[in-house]
């Protein structure tokens, strides 16, 4: 608590000593009230001229003696600026969060001329444009970054952030470009540059994926020399770009392409659980995608490769069987003859494996003399897979088990019968049962009584 008071006292002392410090540094002293002599566009100047400003519809506020137009906060209206968003930064708490520390520091910076400067930002943006047209992309990036910082929360900042990413892209600094595109989308989710950003991110991801296939590296192998690749995990960054495209622009033209690219990349690298997830996402969320057929074919292969044997879960087999049915119905005209034959073969293998699982389960219960459960699984084989060789074996075994009891007799049952019965069971056994002929059901509607043995809705009453 003592440290907090000392820190706050130091800040207050610095704020009070600010005019003296400005004079020693030959900076303009802060003005705490309106000043008509202040530079146009600053808060003191607007405070002094706000009441006399004249509003021209479609243009902005006009101040006599000052060229140009200004918005309702006194900021110059630039031809490139369509809208200025007044964004209040939320205070997330902290040491001095309750006294608006960030807002006070921001106000002090603006008072000494270190705050947003629209004219300077515009000049830097224009200089960056000249450098960009001259293909001096690294130098242009420096000026675009300054322009974006000089006029925050404006159209100029949005354009500067986009052109900063473009400068990195054309300078072949793809990692920085990818980060810059992502930063733009995070701040301006509805930016008019969205389509171009998504296109660039997809191109960068494709390049990273292809270069990883050509020259694979461990994910943690650092890259210090190739500026076209990230520092670590090139293929992982490519997957992140694809996922960003799907999340940031889910209805865009490249969303399904990004999902398909992710699925293919996982499939080629043997990550069949991940590839199956991506193909399934594409099949469900983008039913009109041009990749539907490939998503079904490769999704089927992913599920077959996910299956680990008869001792494990059979969900991949059942899902694969469903995909074979969908392929035969939805894409019958698109499949080639060899593909149709392959689908028929796969379906036969799936039926054989599923029947084998049921038969093994029946055999297990048969061996432990749980004949009731064994009969159930043998019957399942006959019902669901009548065309398999195991169906005949199941039929033969069912016929042989006809007279066998469902449950084996316990070897200790005679001993259990010698033990005294508990008092609770004796009490229940002494309760007389109601004769079936005495059962009557009252009709709440007052209508005709239900027949003996039936409920009011006609359902059979069972004891």
Q: What is the pLDDT of residues 387-446, one digit of tens each?
A: 888 988 899 888 888 878 887 776 776 776 777 777 887 787 778 877 766 666 555 555
Give residues with Cβ within 8 angstroms of 232, minimum separation 6. Answer: 219, 220, 221, 222, 223
Q: How far apart are CA 191 and CA 337, in angstroms?
A: 48
**Where do you find CATH 1.25.40.10 in the chain?**
125-361
CB 195 within 8 A of CB 172: no
Decide if 297 contacts 327 (C-beta within 8 A).
Answer: yes
pTM of the predicted model, to two decimals?
0.64
Please give the full DSSP string across 340-401, using - where no structure is assigned. HHHHHHHHHHHHHHHHHHHHHHHHHHHHTT-HHHHHHHHHHHHHH-TTSHHHHHHHHHHHHT
Residues of the chain with pLDDT under 70: 1-36, 58, 78-115, 410, 413, 416, 436-463
CATH superfamily of the 125-361 domain: Tetratricopeptide repeat domain (1.25.40.10)
For residue 260, give the H/E element and its range. helix 255-268
pLDDT of residue 185: 95
End-to-end CA distance of the chain: 76
- What are the phi and psi torsion angles at 410 (to 5°)? -75, 140
φ, ψ of residue 62 to 5 degrees: the values are -120, 135
Contact 193, 248 (CB under 8 A): no
Please tell me the predicted confidence (pLDDT) of residue 111.
Answer: 54
Helix axes 292-306, 337-367, angle to 10 degrees: 30
In angstroms, the Cα distances linking 311 to 41, 294, 315, 353, 360 are 76, 30, 12, 12, 10
């Amino acid at each position: 608590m003592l440290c907090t008071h000392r820190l706050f006292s130091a800040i207050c002392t610095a704020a009070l000593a600010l005019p003296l410090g400005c004079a020693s540094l030959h900076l303009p002293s802060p003005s705490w009230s309106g000043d008509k002599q202040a530079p146009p566009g600053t808060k003191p100047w607007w405070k002094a001229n706000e009441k006399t400003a004249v509003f021209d519809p479609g243009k902005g506020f006009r101040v006599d003696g000052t060229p140009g137009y200004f918005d309702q906060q006194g900021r110059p209206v630039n031809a490139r600026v369509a809208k200025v968003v007044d964004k209040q930064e939320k205070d997330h708490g902290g040491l001095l969060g309750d006294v608006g520390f960030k807002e006070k520091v921001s106000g002090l910076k603006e008072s000494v001329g270190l705050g947003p400067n629209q004219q300077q930002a515009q000049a830097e943006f224009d200089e960056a444009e000249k450098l960009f047209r001259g293909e001096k992309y690294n130098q242009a990036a420096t000026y675009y970054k300054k322009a974006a910082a000089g006029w925050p929360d404006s159209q100029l900042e949005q354009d500067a952030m986009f052109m900063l990413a473009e400068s990195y892209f054309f300078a072949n600094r793809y990692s920085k470009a990818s980060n810059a595109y992502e930063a733009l989308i995070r701040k301006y989710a509805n930016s008019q540059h969205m389509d171009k950003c998504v296109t660039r991110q997809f191109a960068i991801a494709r390049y990273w994926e292809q270069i990883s296939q050509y020259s694979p590296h461990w994910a943690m192998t650092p890259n210090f020399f190739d500026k076209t690749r990230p520092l670590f995990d090139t293929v992982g960054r490519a997957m992140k770009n694809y996922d960003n495209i799907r999340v940031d622009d889910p209805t865009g033209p490249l969303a399904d392409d990004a999902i398909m690219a992710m699925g293919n990349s996982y499939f080629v690298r043997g990550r069949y659980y991940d590839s199956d997830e991506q193909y399934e996402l594409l099949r469900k969320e983008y039913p009109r995608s041009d990749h539907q057929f490939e998503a079904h074919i490769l999704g089927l292969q992913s599920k077959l490769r996910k299956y680990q044997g008869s001792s494990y879960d059979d969900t991949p087999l059942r899902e694969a069987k469903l995909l074979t049915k969908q392929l035969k119905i939805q894409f019958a005209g698109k499949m080639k003859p060899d593909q149709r034959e392959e689908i028929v073969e796969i379906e036969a293998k799936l039926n054989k494996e599923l029947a084998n699982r049921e038969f093994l389960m029946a055999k297990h219960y048969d061996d432990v003399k749980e004949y009731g459960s064994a009969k159930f699984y043998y019957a399942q084989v006959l019902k669901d897979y009548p065309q398999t060789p195991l169906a005949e074996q199941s039929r033969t075994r069912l016929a042989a088990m006809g007279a066998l009891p469902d449950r084996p007799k316990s070897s200790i049952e005679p001993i259990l019968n010698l033990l005294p019965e508990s008092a609770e069971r004796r009490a229940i056994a002494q309760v007389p049962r109601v004769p079936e002929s005495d059962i009557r059901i009252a009709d709440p509607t007052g209508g005709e009584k239900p027949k003996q043995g039936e409920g009011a809705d006609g359902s059979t009453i069972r004891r």
